[in-house]
Amino acid sequence: MKNKNLLLTLVLMVIASLTLQLSAQDNIKTEALLTSKKWICLDVSRAKLEKMDFRFEVGNELSMRIDKKYSFKNNDYNFSAGTWKLDKKDLYFFYDDPEQAGRKLSTHYRIQKIKPNMLVLKRMDRPKGKLTFK
């Protein structure tokens, strides 16, 4: 009986470690794709995203670096920069509040599709919408 419990525990531990290892590998692959190039916005699904203080429009450029820094350039030469964090399929951008000094804000996106030539982000904060990059 003890041997069966020990064997079952050992098998469960091996399965759990393999699952964690595969999850970490997927996260590394996603980070590699995100940092591989500059992403150009091709489609904005909601007009509300184009009317915010920092507008999302077709032609905007998003670049992410391996040291977890990002820059977002707008068509009218407006610029946003900060740090980013990837948590499985959730992508978080942290940046300074332009209105209040010393205050950090965050924006939450979910990665819906990522390929070497395409990135689709769904904004989870309000106003919600979808951004397509190439």
- pLDDT tens, residue by residue, 56-103: 788 889 999 999 999 989 888 888 889 999 998 999 999 888 778 888
Q: Are 14 and 8 in contact (CB under 8 A)?
A: no
Question: Is pTM beyond 0.85 here?
Answer: no
* Span between the terminal Cα atoms of the chain, in Å: 58
Tokens of 66: 């391996």
Range of the domain at 33: 2-133
Tokens of 130: 């979808």
Residue the block writes with tokens 């992508």: 91
Number of domains in the chain: 1
Read off the CATH number of the domain in which 13 is found. 2.40.128.280
Q: What is the DSSP letter of 128?
A: P
Q: How far apart are CA 5 and CA 78, in angstroms?
A: 62
